[in-house]
A = this chain, B = another copy of it.
Amino acid sequence: MSATADKIETDVQAYMVQLGSQARSAARVLAAASPAAKNKALLQMADAIEASAEQLVAANKKDLEAGRKNGLSDALLDRLELTPARIEAMATGLRQVAGLPDPVGEISDMAFQDSGLQIGRMRVPLGVIGIIYESRPNVTADAAALCLKSGNAAILRGGSEAIHSNRAIAICIQDGLAAADLPVQAIQVVETTDRAAVGQMITMPEYVDVIIPRGGKGLIERISQEARVPVIKHLDGICHVYIDEFADRDKAVRVSFNAKTQRYGTCNTLETLLVHQDVAADILPELFEQYRQAGVELRGCQRSCELDSAISKATEEDWDTEYLAPVLSIRIVDNLDQAIDHIELHGSHHTDAIITENLHNSQRFLREVDSSSVMVNASTRFADGFEYGLGAEIGISTDKLHARGPVGLEGLTSLKYIVIGDGHTRS
């Protein structure tokens, strides 16, 4: 370990304060940077990543070797790996973000008030964004791109298992910033693996405006508890599909099957299926058959078990569980009200869908289900920044304030009021 790195390890707090203070200075420059400069940096980063593919793979190899030595699971090792395809995907991602409309400086709602003042709102960066994430090194490039494009400085704190990969990506990022004459400290990768760095980063509101943690629920809860800075949170996704009495049978089967089985480990995957009692006997047997063929374990309420004796009985805990696995809980409900009650009581306000051809019921569901995404006749798996047309996504927020649902560039900005007068005074 170099003398510098040694110093870093022995004085994490001072190191983080230094990063913070540098980020705060860079943020002011970035907020006023032209779209052309920001895009030039992004495109240069993409080129640098492609040109450094060999170095990235070599750095990544060190992480993989250390990971194997430390007994990381195959799943984690897979997430950690930088293949040529993944390196290319990082570069493509950077170029895509360069191609998005620049949100900074956009003025809306500008109108004259009775006083004669023209008053509106301008979209501006938040300032300095701290991102805390785990094994995937590609997050380093993705997060850098979104923060830069939205005019924010960023402090990126990846997992210690990816430190060599992240440092190598950081060099490409610095390259891009320098090529566009932007401050290289606009995007900083935390170079220490000391866990105290996180504790420091989330408690310096003078330097960091918002923290976005990406990782497991445990990490996010811990950070939220300890942060002295606003946190954009992504907690669990206990998502529901409710098959209404007025559902189209085919759509119900198709959507419910897709929402559970298209991918098991994602936050927008269906975890509990609710079915109106009048259509359960007609629709569920076919669905159960499909789920079983796909290897999904079924756990049902009393009435579901009566329909199909092979289903195991769901416990109270099942309704509150995000399986992230080929397991599904099923409940037959009396009516729409009971479905909404169930979702409000057991859901996580992430994504919930109704299958119905009835306008009134669809409207009630859209209005009354208090989730970040509420859907009609569509698979919950669509809850995603790309599908929503945001062009990119830094995460999905389960918060109600500020950003709710998939967070793209807009969620990394705020609206300030601007007022134009001509010597106006208040009387």
Contacts and interface: CB of A to CB of B under 8 A. Distances in A.
Contact of A404 (B232, B400, B415): B415
B378 A421 contact: yes
A367 B32 contact: yes
Contacts of A105: 367
Interface in A29-46: 31-32
Copies of the chain in the assembly:
2
A373 interface: yes
B119 A400 contact: no
Nearest to A125: B370
Overall SS of chain A's interface? mixed
A422 B381 CA distance: 14
A372 B115 CA distance: 20
Contact of A378 (B127, B353, B377, B419): B419
Nearest to A112: B389
Contact of A425 (B262, B368, B373, B426): B262
Interface residues of A, number: 71
A388 to B, nearest CB: 5
A259 B426 CA distance: 8
Interface string A101-121: 000010000010101010100
A382 interface: yes
A148 to B, nearest CB: 17
Interface string A253-270: 011011100100000000
Contacts of A232: 401
A86 B355 CA distance: 52
Contacts of A382: 115, 117, 419, 421, 424, 426
Contact of A423 (B210, B255, B371): B255
A418 interface: yes
Contacts of A255: 421, 423-425
A216 interface: no
Contact of A426 (B251, B258, B355): B258
Given A32-B368, A400-B209, A404-B415, A425 B379 contact: yes
A124 interface: yes
Interface string A228-248: 001010000000000000001
Q: Which of A31, A373, A378, A420 gathers most chain B CB within 10 Å?
A: A378
Given A378-B424, A401-B414, 19 more contacts: A111-B389, A113-B387, A117-B387, A122-B366, A127-B400, A230-B399, A230-B400, A257-B425, A259-B425, A262-B425, A366-B418, A373-B419, A375-B418, A375-B419, A376-B419, A382-B419, A382-B421, A388-B417, A401-B401
10 contacts: A31-B367, A32-B367, A122-B367, A126-B401, A230-B400, A230-B401, A254-B425, A375-B420, A404-B414, A405-B417
